[in-house]
Structure 1
Amino acid sequence: MRWAQVSVVTTHEAADLIANILMELGAAGVEIDDPSLVNEYIDTGLWDYTDLPRAENTDTLTVRAYLPEDAQLEGRLLRLSARVEALREGGVCVGIGAISHTFVADEDWAETWKAYVRTEKIGERIVVRPTWEEYTPSANEIVIDMDPGTAFGTGAHATTAMCLRSLEHLVAPGMRVYDVGCGSGILAVAAAKLGAGEVIATDFDPVAVRVAEQNIAQNHVRGRVAALESDLLAVCEGMPPAQLITANIIADVVIRLLGDLDRYLARGGTFLASGIIDDRIKDVERAAGTHGFTVLNMLCEKEWAAMIMRRTADLPI
């Protein structure tokens, strides 16, 4: 398979928003080429030698992502252009906002990413490892194998990292978990490895479902995790309710999902929502209250927030 390497020239303010849009469109990984980071590394003095010149223009950066070359590519590129313009019209400074793409072979793209992706410990226990690296876990660590050549998210983005850290405290042995908008399946895999008894991972994009299935198999949790194509939780209609529902998506979808949770979340269950940009926090909190939920805890990292919620009626008086 070939991949389209899509580049968007933009600003620091819009970078994470555009990266999130690309992930929603099915990007198989996102990288941000930020010249200001090069200057920061040079200034630390940690390199014994570097011939990299200091960047003069640090106001502009490039967000790059990889979309599969398939029948949906043209439509995805058109939606990307429309959503970048929608950000501009909504008052976000997107700068140039120029979009371009070129094609690369699957193996070329995967090799390129090996220079950037390393084993990383995300929380107290969870370690995310690319398969080409060796890593010996300590007694309490859980290793998740994720290759950027096939993953929509490896845990490096703030929204995913906050979810992984939260799962360490929320997952109980044998519990049922629904993961909405599963992308690479990393949260579903993490839940299973933390002891969940059954995990249903759903995504609207069939490419995401296929990738999640590959990662589920690669991490040897196929018996407890299933990836299904679905609009939010529609495919779970009639299934037993879950004790934990996760959704690392965007604020608008989280708000929509809140209206359906009563059908899918068990009494006393927990809803973990992430992918919420900071200027939408109040909107999500308001929607939670409208649908009878209380935000018990909120994690914030960079411009993003993750919220842990329960039904207000389930809380002790």
Structure 2
Amino acid sequence: MEIKLKWIELSVVADSELIDPLVQIFDRYSKHGVVLENVGEVLEHSKYHTKVRTYLNSDSDYEIVFNQIDIGVRLLSHVGEVSKLSKRVLDEKEWHESWKKHFSILEVGKTIAIVPSWLKSKEVDRTIVVELDPGMAFGTGHHPTTRMCLEMLETIVKPDHTVLDLGCGSGILSIASAKFGAKKVVGIDNDETAVKVAMENMEINGISDSATILAGSLPNKNISKYNNNIVVANISSKVILDLSRVITEYLDPQGYLLISGFLDTNEPEIINAFKELNLRVVYRLATSDWVALCLRQV
């Protein structure tokens, strides 16, 4: 019996400094999320190579989308090291299994473990367990930016806190915040797939009473301004800069802003943007050229 082919996997491998623009290119033309995976070290430059993957439905105009992404990748190859765009055809089963291959149990910080939902029967020696089925939404905990955000949340979240998770993806940071003890968590994402996946993960973790997932972005009339003890945004540098002023409007005057999703080359511009809004860096983490910042009003 012939298997009907439904999905196209597109991928490239690139130097760290090109990941941000590559993610923006993939995210612009694909509606099914972007997956990042560290695949090794380039000894010549002492930098990590990262694979960027996305998926296209073969029933859509994927050839047009492929050409648009390919043009972007070839343009970036003139300013940094990036492989040619690779295309692989998947059937329905392969599509569901492809992203699971690199998703294993992950321990982060001192207390938390991220456990794939299909491995939930395995014993984990951690006090906080987040069961996750990311589907095609970004956020498994394996990318450095997600891990650093989790480590920051672990040290900052208090039982009376309200947390806003901008660009929540799979819901991993929202779920972790609730399990760290936050009394209320709101996750928001402008991707329909991410919203659906995040809501399903809330159910899996039994935190639907304390956490809400919304579709959209900021500003949002359903979210109170100046009322969140923590705003976390693990998103691209461009979106952080574009929304910097709006983001601060949703932060309590004494609150913490946690931002990541960008490289150290973008850090000075981001710090300056928030400095103009009276926010200063009070804590910084960095891994493999990726940066996470904790800022407060001073």
Q: What is the TM-score normalised by the length of structure 2?
A: 0.82
Specify which of 152, 157, 160 is matched with residue 143 of structure 2. Answer: 157
1:65 maps to 2:53: yes
1:167-182 superposed matches below 5 A: 167-182=153-168
Q: In 2 relative to 1, CA 74–216 (structure 1 residues): closer, same or farther, beyond 3 Å?
A: farther
Quote the residue 1:50 is aligned against.
Answer: none
Q: Which moved more, 1:226-235 or 1:206-215?
A: 226-235
Q: Select which of 213, 216, 233 maps to 1:247.
A: 233
Q: How many Å apart are 1:227 and its aligned residue?
A: 1.2
Alignment correspondent of 2:190: 204
More helix by proportion, 1 or 2? 1
Q: CA deviation at 1:87?
A: 3.5
C-alpha distance in structure 1 between counterparts of 2:243 and 2:108, whole Å: 27
Aligned residue for 1:7?
Answer: 11
1:213 aligns with 2:199: yes
Q: Distance in 1 between matches of 2:61 and 2:215?
A: 16
Q: Secondary structure at the match of 1:279?
A: coil
Distance 2:63 2:199 in 1: 25
Q: CA deviation at 1:205?
A: 1.3
Q: Report deviation, 1:78.
A: 5.9
Mapped to 2, the partners of 1:216 and 1:75 lie a distance apart of: 36
Give the equivalent residue in structure 2 for 1:30. Answer: 35
Matched, 1:189 2:194: no
Return 5+ residue gaps in structure 2 as ranges: none
SS at match of 1:145: strand
Instruction: Give the Å deviation of 1:254.
Output: 1.4
User: Deviation string for 1:118-141 (max 9, x for gaps)?
Assistant: 211011111001122233344x62
1:19 Cα deviation from its structure 2 partner: 6.4
Give 1:229's aligned residue.
Answer: 215
Please tell me whether the aligned partners of residues 5 and 104 of structure 1 are also in contact (alpha carbons under 8 angstroms).
no
Question: Percent same amino acid at aligned positions?
Answer: 28
Q: Distance in 2 between matches of 1:71 and 1:172?
A: 46
Q: Counterpart in 2 of 1:104? A: 91
Deviation at 1:267, TM superposition (A): 1.8
- Report Cα offsets for 1:246-277 as digits up to 9, x if no partner: 00001121122321134211120110000121
- Comparing 218-227 with 186-195, greater Cα deviation is found at 218-227
Question: Contact 1:110 / 1:148 at 8 angstroms: preserved in 2?
Answer: no
Paired residue for 1:309?
295
**Does structure 2 retain, via aligned residues, the 8 Å contact 1:294–1:310?**
yes
Tell me by how many angstroms 1:113 deviates.
4.2
Q: Distance in 2 between matches of 1:62 and 1:294?
A: 30
User: What SS is found at the alignment partner of 1:124?
Assistant: coil
Distance change (3 Å), C-alpha of 1:15 and 1:225: same
The code of the aligned residue for 2:91 comes to V
Paired position in structure 1 for 2:132: 146
- C-alpha deviation, 1:23, in angstroms: 6.0
Residues 24-54 of structure 1: CA distance to partner in whole angstroms, max 9, x if unpaired?
A: 75555625484769xx9xxxxxxxxxxxxxx
Distance 2:91 2:31 in 1: 17
**Quick one: which of 122, 135, 140 aligns to 2:108?**
122
Max radius of gyration: which structure? Answer: 1
Cα distance between partner residues in 2 of 1:161 and 1:29: 17
Deviation at 1:153, TM superposition (A): 1.6
Q: CA RMSD in A?
A: 3.2
Q: 1:288 to 1:303 in 2, by over 3 A?
A: same
**CA–CA distance in 2 between the matches of 1:189 and 1:71?**
33
Contact 2:134 2:170 in 1 (8 A): no
How big is each residue's C-alpha offset from its partner over 1:275-304, in whole Å with a ceiling of 9 and x where there is no partner?
Answer: 121101100111111111011111000010
Tell me the residue number matched to 2:122: 135
Preserved contact between residue 60 and residue 95 of structure 1 (Cα < 8 Å): no
Structure 2: distance between partners of 1:249 and 1:81? 23
Q: Which moved more, 1:147-156 or 1:282-291?
A: 147-156
For 2:63 and 2:216, how far apart are their aligned partners in 1?
A: 22
Q: 2-side partners of 1:72 and 1:293: how far apart?
A: 44
- One-letter amino acid matched to 2:147: A
